[in-house]
Every structure is written in structure tokens, then in C-alpha cells.
Structure 1
Amino acid sequence: MGEAVAKSGWKRFWDRGGWWKALLFVAVYYGVYLALGNLIVAPLLGGSFGEEGSAQYILLTTALPIVLACIVLVVFAISIGWLKELFGRQPIRGSWWMWIPVAVVVVFNVIHLFTIDYEKAGADVVGSWLLAGLFIGFAEETVTRGFVVNLMRRAGHREILVALASAGLFAAMHLGNVFTSTQGLTATLFQVVYTFFFGICMYLALRVTGNLIWPILLHASTDPTIFLSTEYSTGGPLAAFGGLGNFAVIFTGLVLLFFIRGRVAKDAYGLPEGMFAAADIPASTER
């Protein structure tokens, strides 16, 4: 009985949502992810990661820690009873214009696929990055477009704040790359700007498709194709055009951010509405 009560209290804590819980969740997740790589994977392997850039290196240093993080996320979702909710139909849908960021991301991902020198990269390296990308997409989208979006909506926030929180926390996670990777401060700051607006695009993909699986797949096809087309580029005009993809995503996210409307009523989750301003947009609507 005591255990059941404890679990009920654990679930009630997260069910009420809130921006500070979203911040807490992302901070703890990021800490757990780093710990999995540095305190579990690295010591167990004893630094035997293989040659840098090899398929073995990619699988052990990039894919394995994120696979473990995915398992932690699924276990956490089950512990609060959100697994079905996270991957079920969204309580609010979007408008036709929300397909624009989906199209932009898909077009540039396809261009990147066509500008990879597959012979130079090798099938094992390409396959390793695609596999790693799938788990990266699952983890990062489940955290930000899954848990963060849910926590914000459960607190009754407008969708513009939901989008900003999910994108902002997504970008903040990448700020740590200045300490955990060899890239410099300037490159990291640009990455943070890019990931913020990419996060806006993924939020809009979530809205217009109505299911978290689609932002996951879009994200999963983005990271590895960008990396591979950069490291193993075929060169030429198409590759040069593909290099504009990051700027296209930033521009698209920046412009469309101002058109986000709507709010999911708290009673959609069985929670009391509380006091909202009369000007609030009705639940599950978009203008």
C-alpha cells in the first residue's frame, strides 16, 4: 500500500506539469546522459573505442550512451504512466503552413544524402551514423517535444510558450558541447542558435503530423546526413547548396515562430482549468 501511495504521489507530481519541472527534467536528463557516457560506458570499455571516426568508435562513443539514455527515458515514462500519451495522438493539431518546416528539413536531408561520398565514408561508417542518428532523434525529441511539451501543456501554457520552452531547452542541451567536444565557442554558439530554430521546426512538425514519431524520424535523418555530407562531401554545386540548409532552417523557424497560436486546456488531461484570461484561445484550436 505504501509503495502504491508513493508511486501515486510521484505520478501526481509530474502530471501537474510546469515550466520549472520541464527545466528540472531536462537538467537531470542531461546529467544522466553525461554520467552514462563518462561513468559507465568509458570505464567499462577501458578507453578501447577503436580508431576515431571508425564505425566501432561511432557506435561506442555516440550510439551506446544515447541508447542507454533512451532506455532511461522509456522507464521514466512508464513510471509516471506517460508512455502511451507521449506517443499517442496530440491533443491539438496544426494548420497547413506548418508543413513548410517539414518540407524544408526533408529537402535538405535528401540533398545531403546525394552529396555524400559513400565510397570514401564506407558502408559501415554510414550505417553506424544512421543507427546513432535514430537513437539521437528518439532521445532528444522524446525529451523536448515529448516530456517538455507535455509538462508545459499540463500547466496550461499557450502553445507559443510551449514551442519556446521545448526549443529553448533543446538548444540549451547543446550549449554543453563547448565543454564536452573539441568544437570552439563560436561554433557552439552557432549550433545553439541553429538547434533552437530547428527545435521550432520540430515542434511545428509535431503539431501538423499529430504524433511524436514524425519529429523523431525527421530528427533522426538530419544529424547523420549533415555530418556525413560535411565530412565526406562529394563537392560541387549541389553540395554547396546543401550547405545552406542550416541557414534555411534558422530562417524558417524564425519566421514561422510568430504565427504559432493555440492552447490545450488543462481539462484535456483531467486537470482543473484554474484561472485563465478571457482572451485565451479555446483548447485544441489554431488560427
Structure 2
Amino acid sequence: MNNSTSEKSDFWSRPTIWKLLLVVVVYLAFYLAVGQVISRVFSDQIDSDNVVASASSIIFGLALPIAIGAVALLIFIAKLGWLRSIFGPQPIRGRGWMWIGPILVAAAIAAHLTGTDWTAWSAGEIISLLALGVCVGIAEELLTRGIAVKMLRDAGHGERFVAVVSSLLFALMHTVNFISGMEASTVLATVVYTFGFGMCMYLTMRVTGTIWAAIVLHGLTDPTTILSTGGLDTSVTGASGATVVATFITILLVLFAVVAIFFVRGRVSQEQPANATS
């Protein structure tokens, strides 16, 4: 191993909050830059007024930048040798009450599917939205429930701190919607919702013992929400298209996430085995 590689490995082997913030900021900057390039190169394929108006607009306007970001994150953790620790069994398992988190998310997905006007979408648009869901699930979970959780645990923080900070970072990432011209009230509502959703994804990972469960649920949430509401980041504000049940579940999800903060326990030690229970 040469000196530069060794120094880089040593740098990331001593995680801190500011190093985690650096990862998040660099990722967001990279994602936004890629999005700008793609929007210019494929401007004729993207509907700037309604990015979900066609299959090609969904792919080039939404899915492709996130897919490239996901690949960049995978390369990053592969270079650091974190693939096994992130995608492998969780070093600390959850309690029975934590199942409420994934159950609420699954219920919201089911409600959105029930409330979807399927005649309003073409087969190509539905497939494109599912592809978008895969990209979002991998990229956002890898960053916030994968890299962030690992770095916070490796820094010696307890699980309550890990859950809150990783969920808060996930929520604050969505403030970049200001750049796209989204109204402040909608962005604020999205941040509140995504914090609650992030907590539920953390609990999903804890109680199932794997990040893959969070990736799957997250990957299903975004496309089903868009299918039901007809747009981006609208269900959290109660916009048209969302069913009463889905809206109620969303509110319940956020309230549960706040209460759950006070019940999260545990701490991962360096010697703790991968299949340990809290």
C-alpha cells in the first residue's frame, strides 16, 4: 500500500461528525452537478414543467442523476472496504416494538397503491418510476443508513444519537429542493416527513438486521407516492391525489418517530459480533 492510500485509509478510519458532514455535502454537490449536466445534455427528453410527465423525463430528469450518485457511493465504500459491514448483518438488533416503523411504512405504500388512478399512467411511466425507486432506495439508504450510521457508530456514539443524527441528515438533504424552486412550506413539510421516515428506516434496519429491508421499503415508497399523488413531494402536504388513509398514516408515522427517539437503546462496541442483539 502506498503512502497516499494509507493516509486516506487512516483518515476515514477515524470518523467524526464533520467528516460525515463532508461526505454528505460532497455527495449532494456531486448529485446536483450531475443533474445539471444531464439536464443540459438531455434537455429535449426532460419536461421542465412536470418532470414525471413521461417515461423519458422520469429517467433522465430524476433517475439517472440518482443512479450515478449511487454508483459513486458504492465506489467510495468499496475503496474503503466498507461493503461487508454496511450490507452485511447489523451489529446490533432491535426490539419487538421497532416493527411498528416498517409496518407503518408498508401500510402507507399499500394505501398509496389503493389510491392510485392507474389509468392516468402509462406502462412506460410506471416502469420508469419503479426504476427511480430502485435508484433512490439504494442511494439514499446507502448514504444515510449505511455510511452515516457506520461512521456514527465507529465514532463511539450510542444508538439514540445514531438514529437521530442520521435521520436528521436525511431530512436536511431534502432542503436542496429549494434550488428547484419548491415553495418553502412544501420543503419544510418534506423535511419533517423525511425525518420521521428516516427514523422508521433506521428502525427497519435494526429490527430486520439488514439495510436491504430499508432499501426495499424506501424503493417502494417514492414511486407509489408519486403514482398516488401525481407529483413529487406532495403527499406530505396533503395535496390532491393522496387518500385520507395515506395522509393519516403519514401523520402517524411522524408522531411515532418522535416518540421512538426516547425508546431507542444500545451501543455498538468494536468487539460486538455481527449477529448480536441489543
Give the aligned partner of residue 256 of structure 1. 260
Give the aligned partner of residue 148 of structure 1. 148
Question: Highest CA radius of gyration, 1 or 2?
Answer: 1
State the aligned residue count: 266
Q: Residues 149, 238 of structure 1: CA spacing in aligned structure 2 closer, same or farther, 3 A cutoff?
A: closer
Q: Retained in 1: the 8 A contact 2:101–2:203?
A: yes
- The question of 1:26 aligning with 2:30 is answered no
Give the aligned partner of residue 99 of structure 1. 99
- The question of 1:49 aligning with 2:45 is answered yes
Give the aligned partner of residue 111 of structure 1. 111
TM-score in terms of structure 2 length: 0.90
Q: Retained in 2: the 8 A contact 1:69–1:139?
A: yes
How far apart are the structure 2 equivalents of 1:237 and 1:134? 23
Q: Retained in 1: the 8 A contact 2:98–2:207?
A: yes
Q: Residues 147, 237 of structure 1: CA spacing in aligned structure 2 closer, same or farther, 3 A cutoff?
A: closer
The offset of 1:140, in angstroms, is 0.4
Letter in 2 for 1:223: D
Q: Residues 238, 27 of structure 1: CA spacing in aligned structure 2 closer, same or farther, 3 A cutoff?
A: closer
1:213-253 deviations in Å (ceiling 9; x for gaps)? 110111111111111111289xx999221222321210121
- The question of 1:265 aligning with 2:272 is answered no
How far apart are the structure 1 equivalents of 2:195 and 2:128? 26
- RMSD value, Cα: 2.1
Q: Which runs of 5+ in 2 are unaligned?
A: none
Give secondary structure in 1 for the equivalent of 2:15.
coil
The offset of 1:109, in angstroms, is 0.3
1:93-130 deviations in Å (ceiling 9; x for gaps)? 11111101111110110111121111111221111111
Give secondary structure in 1 for the equivalent of 2:81.
coil
Q: Residues 145, 126 of structure 1: CA spacing in aligned structure 2 closer, same or farther, 3 A cutoff?
A: same
Give secondary structure in 1 for the equivalent of 2:179.
helix
Give secondary structure in 1 for the equivalent of 2:133.
helix
1:246-266 deviations in Å (ceiling 9; x for gaps)? 212101211111100110113
How far apart are the structure 2 equivalents of 1:238 and 1:153? 37
Give secondary structure in 2 for the equivalent of 1:48.
helix
Give the aligned partner of residue 198 of structure 2. 199
How far apart are the structure 2 equivalents of 1:165 and 1:191? 17
Name the % identity: 39
TM-score in terms of structure 1 length: 0.87
